A = this chain, B = another copy of it.
Protein backbone atom coordinates (compact mmCIF):
# COMPACT_ATOMS: atom_id res chain seq x y z
CA UNK A 1 0.00 0.00 0.00
CA UNK A 2 2.27 2.70 -1.32
CA UNK A 3 5.15 3.08 1.05
CA UNK A 4 6.65 6.50 0.77
CA UNK A 5 4.40 7.32 -2.14
CA UNK A 6 4.92 10.94 -2.99
CA UNK A 7 3.60 11.33 -6.48
CA UNK A 8 6.24 9.30 -8.20
CA UNK A 9 4.83 6.63 -10.41
CA UNK A 10 5.45 4.11 -7.70
CA UNK A 11 2.64 2.17 -6.22
CA UNK A 12 -0.15 4.58 -5.42
CA UNK A 13 -2.74 4.57 -2.69
CA UNK A 14 -5.98 3.01 -3.76
CA UNK A 15 -7.96 4.31 -0.79
CA UNK A 16 -9.91 7.24 -2.23
CA UNK A 17 -9.37 9.47 0.78
CA UNK A 18 -5.63 8.82 0.86
CA UNK A 19 -5.36 9.13 -2.90
CA UNK A 20 -6.95 12.56 -2.80
CA UNK A 21 -4.54 13.59 -0.10
CA UNK A 22 -1.65 12.34 -2.22
CA UNK A 23 -2.61 14.90 -4.82
CA UNK A 24 -3.42 17.93 -2.70
CA UNK A 25 -1.51 17.22 0.51
CA UNK A 26 1.99 18.13 -0.66
CA UNK A 27 3.74 21.14 0.73
CA UNK A 28 2.17 24.36 -0.59
CA UNK A 29 -0.13 22.39 -2.92
CA UNK A 30 -3.38 23.29 -1.24
CA UNK A 31 -2.32 26.91 -1.14
CA UNK A 32 -1.39 26.86 -4.80
CA UNK A 33 -4.67 25.25 -5.80
CA UNK A 34 -6.62 27.61 -3.61
CA UNK A 35 -4.99 30.61 -5.27
CA UNK A 36 -5.70 29.26 -8.72
CA UNK A 37 -9.38 28.54 -8.24
CA UNK A 38 -11.14 30.52 -10.96
CA UNK A 39 -7.95 32.39 -11.79
CA UNK A 40 -4.88 32.30 -13.97
CA UNK A 41 -1.59 33.34 -12.42
CA UNK A 42 1.99 33.68 -13.55
CA UNK A 43 4.92 32.17 -11.70
CA UNK A 44 5.82 35.45 -10.06
CA UNK A 45 2.22 35.94 -8.95
CA UNK A 46 2.32 32.58 -7.24
CA UNK A 47 5.62 33.46 -5.59
CA UNK A 48 3.93 36.51 -4.14
CA UNK A 49 1.04 34.44 -2.80
CA UNK A 50 3.04 31.48 -1.54
CA UNK A 51 5.77 33.53 0.07
CA UNK A 52 7.22 30.67 2.10
CA UNK A 53 8.06 28.62 -0.97
CA UNK A 54 11.45 28.97 -2.62
CA UNK A 55 11.46 29.02 -6.44
CA UNK A 56 12.79 25.49 -6.36
CA UNK A 57 9.96 24.17 -4.21
CA UNK A 58 7.29 26.14 -5.99
CA UNK A 59 8.45 24.71 -9.29
CA UNK A 60 8.49 21.20 -7.90
CA UNK A 61 4.98 21.41 -6.52
CA UNK A 62 3.66 22.97 -9.72
CA UNK A 63 5.22 20.22 -11.81
CA UNK A 64 3.65 17.53 -9.66
CA UNK A 65 0.26 19.16 -9.83
CA UNK A 66 0.67 19.35 -13.59
CA UNK A 67 1.67 15.68 -13.82
CA UNK A 68 -1.40 14.74 -11.85
CA UNK A 69 -3.56 16.69 -14.30
CA UNK A 70 -4.77 19.26 -11.80
CA UNK A 71 -3.30 22.31 -13.49
CA UNK A 72 -1.99 23.33 -16.86
CA UNK A 73 1.12 25.30 -17.67
CA UNK A 74 1.04 27.57 -20.66
CA UNK A 75 4.36 28.87 -21.95
CA UNK A 76 4.44 31.89 -24.23
CA UNK A 77 7.40 32.16 -26.56
CA UNK A 78 8.15 35.76 -25.76
CA UNK A 79 10.94 37.79 -24.24
CA UNK A 80 10.92 38.11 -21.33
CA UNK A 81 9.42 34.69 -20.71
CA UNK A 82 5.79 34.41 -19.72
CA UNK A 83 4.23 31.33 -18.15
CA UNK A 84 0.66 31.06 -17.01
CA UNK A 85 -0.75 28.55 -14.57
CA UNK A 86 -4.41 27.67 -14.35
CA UNK A 87 -6.49 24.80 -13.07
CA UNK A 88 -7.71 22.12 -15.42
CA UNK A 89 -11.30 20.98 -15.24
CA UNK A 90 -10.14 18.23 -12.92
CA UNK A 91 -8.39 20.79 -10.76
CA UNK A 92 -11.46 22.99 -10.61
CA UNK A 93 -13.47 19.97 -9.53
CA UNK A 94 -11.50 20.05 -6.28
CA UNK A 95 -13.20 23.28 -5.39
CA UNK A 96 -15.84 21.80 -3.06
CA UNK A 97 -13.11 20.05 -1.11
CA UNK A 98 -10.96 23.15 -0.86
CA UNK A 99 -13.94 25.25 0.14
CA UNK A 100 -15.05 22.88 2.87
CA UNK A 101 -11.47 22.84 4.14
CA UNK A 102 -11.46 26.63 4.07
CA UNK A 103 -14.70 26.84 6.01
CA UNK A 104 -13.67 24.24 8.56
CA UNK A 105 -10.23 25.76 8.97
CA UNK A 106 -11.64 29.22 9.49
CA UNK A 107 -13.91 27.99 12.26
CA UNK A 108 -11.03 26.06 13.80
CA UNK A 109 -8.73 29.07 13.84
CA UNK A 110 -11.41 31.16 15.47
CA UNK A 111 -11.88 28.52 18.16
CA UNK A 112 -8.16 28.87 18.81
CA UNK A 113 -8.57 32.62 19.07
CA UNK A 114 -6.51 33.18 15.98
CA UNK A 115 -7.19 35.16 12.85
CA UNK A 116 -7.11 33.57 9.41
CA UNK A 117 -4.51 35.27 7.27
CA UNK A 118 -6.19 34.80 3.94
CA UNK A 119 -9.74 35.74 3.25
CA UNK A 120 -12.26 34.41 0.81
CA UNK A 121 -13.19 37.76 -0.60
CA UNK A 122 -11.51 37.37 -3.94
CA UNK A 123 -12.92 33.92 -4.57
CA UNK A 124 -15.35 33.98 -7.51
CA UNK A 125 -18.88 32.70 -7.15
CA UNK A 126 -19.39 29.01 -7.48
CA UNK A 127 -20.45 28.19 -10.98
CA UNK A 128 -23.05 25.47 -11.35
CA UNK A 129 -22.81 23.59 -14.61
Contact = CB atoms under 8 A, between A and B. Distances in A.
A100 B100 contact: yes
Nearest to A51: B1
Interface of A: 1-3, 12, 14-21, 23-25, 30-31, 34, 51-52, 90, 93-94, 96-98, 100-106, 108-109, 114-118
Contacts of A93: 104
Contacts of A106: 16
Nearest to A120: B16
A23 B104 CA distance: 11
A104 B15 contact: no
Contact of A34 (B17, B94, B101, B117): B17
